[in-house]
Amino acid sequence: MAFRLSRRLLQNNLHVLKDAATYEQLKMTTPKMLVGWFSAHFSGASKMYESQFDAMAKSYPQYTFFKCDVDSAPTVAYDAEVDDAPMVVMMPLGLKEDGTHYDKSDWQMVKAPTCKYDKLIPDAKAVIDSYKFKGGEDLSARGPWKFDPLTGGTLPPHQTY
């Protein structure tokens, strides 16, 4: 199992999150977009469609993908506003075409409408394809995300209310 897990982690753009610290690190170092697969160990649909998420990660090498069990890392699920499992969350982190930053209000969550889990991955792909990015962001200037007392989650350093 350890060899399989390490090989999966080396699949360049797919990570398995076990804690919030790794998630925070990904938010600071991902150039364009994080795409998260939120699952639960008790969810049959999570197990059935996880391989489709893996295939989607391979088809978008320019983005960073991660998997997160909501029970293993509940803080991550809370920050991403997850309310179903499985669920895919698209988190654009780079610059928009007009040069402004994407922020948390640009995140999109995709969940199965009325248990139609076969629609989850195609709907997520459509959302991913809708984002447009401008290059040139200096990742070293991106600081840590800050706690948002209004929601209990986090906000990017450039976003304020």
Q: What does the pLDDT look like over 86-129, one tens digit per residue? A: 999 999 998 899 888 888 889 999 999 888 999 999 999 999 99
Q: Hey, which residues does 14 pair with through a beta bridge? A: 65
Torsion of CA 29, 34, 39, 44, to 10 degrees: -140
Domain 2-155 has CATH 3.40.30.10: yes
Q: What does the pLDDT look like over 66-87, one tens digit per residue? A: 999 999 999 999 999 999 999 9
Please give the full DSSP string across 31-66, using - where no structure is assigned.
SSEEEEEEE-TT-HHHHHHHHHHHHHHHH-TTSEEE
pTM: 0.83
> Residue 7's pLDDT is what?
45
Backbone angles phi, psi at 13, to 5 degrees: -120, 10
